[in-house]
Amino acid sequence: MLSEETTTATQVSLAEKASEPPESLDSIELLRFTTAGSVDDGKSTLIGRLLYDSKAIFEDQMEAVQRASHERGDEYVDLALLTDGLRAEREQKITIDVAYRYFATPKRKFIIADTPGHIQYTRNMVTGASTAELAIILIDARKGVVTQSKRHGFLATLLHIPHLVVAVNKMDLVDYEQEIFDQIIADYKDFAAKLSVQDIVFIPISALKGDNVVEKSANMPWYDGSTLLHHLENVNVGGSRNLVDFRFPVQTVIRPNQNFRGFAGQIASGRIAPGEEVVVFPSGLGSRIKSVVTLEGEQAEAVAGDSVILTLADEIDISRGDMIVRTHNLPQKSNQVDAVICWMSETPMNPQGTYWLQHTTRVVKAFISELNYKIDVDTMHRERTESLSLNEIGRVQITTTHPLFFDRYEINRNTGSFILIDPYTNTTVAAGMIRGRSRSISDLVETAPEPAKRPAIERRKSTDVVWEIGGVTLEMRERHNEHKGAVLWFTGLSGSGKSTVAKKLEQVLFERNCHTFFLDGDNLRHGLNGDLGFSDADRNENIRRAAEVARLGFGHGNIVLCSFISPFQSERDFARSILPEGRFFEIFVKCDLEVCKRRDPKGLYAKALRGEIKQFTGISSPYEEPQAPEIVIETDLRSTEEIVEQIINELEARGILPQ
């Protein structure tokens, strides 16, 4: 109830504040905060109280609220009507949609996101809290800490909101008893100990009567903390803003005339000034900031949140979706990310479906390569699941057709968040927070059973057999061939150019009268390995057989050229282990994944990115780069002829070929 005393005291207090020297509106700090709590905990009433007591509403608005309260038969002016804008909200006296409200005091500007308390509106809270720096979680003093109180605390920490205020509301209905407030503090602190909470404050209030909202309450002399508004005015603002890592997603290119070419967008994080060295992703080309331009002209510096146009000292092809960063402060780059998503669509997640992923200004095709678990928000337990439904939160691995340039969400919200869009309906189906590059499932599912280790490759032989030595020894063959036998093991991603280089090398060796033997992974699967699939065990057996055949070819004095993806170091180590020292050459065919995908000679990447091929190396299955290869060749930087010459020179230096 709005008593005459409360109203008068509040107006006097605000009048005194208003008499203070006013600051420039632009110089006043902005705090974005969200409210959450269980149904009927008083969120909308609290916001209405803040708006009313800060004189942020017009007289006609207040008259409309008074009239609506009277028509409903309320015995008091229901300030919740100031924020509950939907008809259904007013009829049911609940919040359904996210309502954004704005108000200001002489010390600070505020943007409030009033989010619903129902379980089925979890997605709405995630939306409203995604940009907040502070969350007010309301608890009904009569009910104490309930499941929804915990749920919203968990979501607030999941979204890395740095400041948490637990407002114990409706203290007037429990006679302002300190014991009840203290018990709620103890219960919530016990729960919060399980979370990663940076800053948490407890304030006893009555939103309806105004106790400890703007003015100190005479009804709770035992409370010596600040009022809610005082805390909102003085809490540290900008603590969650990343002013270190400069990230500038390009929104559009500005070319008003032949003499000006700038790149427009909003600085996602960090700061920048003319003269600083930058690099542009995905091209990787470097340049220097020539100028920082706004409507007011050229600026000496721009910071996170500023919408600017950057011009560069060099002519570089840049378009929407590219990102400009500092040369010595780079984001992570990957087309496989580990993320937590909140499913926002009434249509459940399709594990085999393809979506659009929007990250900053970049939009790429993506699919969920693995759903690790869903999180029971009530208990915080992790559960195995095949899909996610509306409002469910889960840990996923996402694969994209083109790489993302990102930071972890916990250090940079703007470059660590994304949305998934249904390509057919163009509706947003999920919001996500990036935890980093994708990792193996054993690193992700702590509650799952220990996954089976990749089976080791072991040599096999039948019983009651003896190795037969031929009539011509290896030494005799090498003298006759005038070169030594060796195994050249080409390893790299599909499309990296392994077979292309190996075939060209074999032609050059043949012209030098060398004895060669070429083994290709696909060829072996046409016959010798035709009975094998692509499970871990079958992949191991595929490489075991290939290595044994290579050993036989080597035993006849040949230079054996083996072209296999062989993504795991253990596989390549096995092939090395069955050959004499110095006769096995691990050749790492290094090539950027994007180049491999553009080449895609067999169309395999396209199928894998559509989800048609599971466990495809480089997309949904890892590739372990060689730890200490004898030769590294870069097929995206050098021609095949140059690479072949490099390998020939190395074989001569190692004594395999005569000088």
Q: Domain range spanning residue 252? A: 247-326
Does some domain include residue 462? no
Average pLDDT of the residues in 302-306 = 90
Contact 82, 57 (CB under 8 A): yes
Q: Would you give the DSSP letter of residue 97?
A: S
Secondary structure element (H or E) that encloses residue 163, with its range: strand 163-169
Report which residue type is found at 558: N
Does some domain include residue 95? yes
Distance CA 217, CA 169 (A): 13
Among 186, 211, 234, which residue terminates a domain?
234
Does some domain include residue 450? no
Structure tokens at 431: 């919001």
Do 499 and 642 lie in a common domain? yes
Do 500 and 399 lie in a common domain? no
Among 444, 464, 489, which residue terminates a domain?
444
Contact 378, 347 (CB under 8 A): no
Does some domain include residue 256? yes
Mode of pairing for the β-strands spanning 486-491 and 584-590: parallel
Mode of pairing for the β-strands spanning 134-140 and 163-169: parallel
Measured at the CA of 554, the angle between CA 549 and CA 557, to 5 degrees, comes to 140
- Percentage of residues in the chain with pLDDT exceeding 90? 35
Distance CA 382, CA 375 (A): 5
Measured at the CA of 76, the angle between CA 74 and CA 78, to 5 degrees, comes to 80
Does the active-site annotation cover 566?
Answer: yes
- The band of 357, judged by pLDDT with boundaries at 50, 70 and 90, is very high
Do 618 and 545 lie in a common domain? yes
Distance CA 308, CA 293 (A): 6
- The band of 95, judged by pLDDT with boundaries at 50, 70 and 90, is very low
Q: What is the pLDDT of residues 543-563, one digit of tens each?
A: 889 999 999 999 999 999 999
Residue 528 or 352, more confident: 528
Do 311 and 343 lie in a common domain? no
Residue 290, pLDDT score: 94
Residue 570, pLDDT score: 86
Q: Exposed, middle or buried by CB within 10 Å (0-12, 13-18, 19+), for 105?
A: buried
Residue 68, pLDDT score: 61
Measured at the CA of 145, the angle between CA 141 and CA 147, to 5 degrees, comes to 135
Do 198 and 297 lie in a common domain? no
In 10 A of CB 607, how many CB atoms?
14
The mean of the pLDDT values for the chain is: 81
Residue 595 or 461, more confident: 595
Q: What is the pLDDT of residues 154-173, one digit of tens each?
A: 888 888 888 899 999 999 99
**SS3 for 360?**
coil
- Residue 531 sits in a domain whose CATH number is 3.40.50.300
- Residue 310 sits in a domain whose CATH number is 2.40.30.10
Do 121 and 251 lie in a common domain? no
Do 155 and 63 lie in a common domain? yes
Looking at the structure of the chain, the number of domains it has is 4
Do 486 and 615 lie in a common domain? yes
Contact 170, 42 (CB under 8 A): yes
Does some domain include residue 468? no
Does some domain include residue 453? no
Does some domain include residue 647? yes
Contact 319, 253 (CB under 8 A): yes
Q: Please give the model's pTM, rounded to 2 decimal places.
A: 0.60
Do 54 and 182 lie in a common domain? yes
Look-up of token digits 């050059």: 508
Do 377 and 300 lie in a common domain? no
Residue 116, pLDDT score: 62
Do 357 and 434 lie in a common domain? yes
Among 306, 326, 346, which residue terminates a domain?
326
Contact 494, 602 (CB under 8 A): yes
Do 501 and 423 lie in a common domain? no
Distance CA 402, CA 400 (A): 5
Q: What is the pLDDT of residues 414-472, one digit of tens each?
A: 899 999 998 888 888 988 899 888 754 333 333 333 334 456 677 676 666 666 777 88
User: Which of 566, 570, 620, 621 is labelled catalytic?
Assistant: 566
Does some domain include residue 240? no
For residues 183, 185, 190, 194, the Cα torsion angle rounded to the nearest 10 degrees is 160
Residue 346, pLDDT score: 87
Q: Is the pLDDT of residue 178 over 90?
A: yes
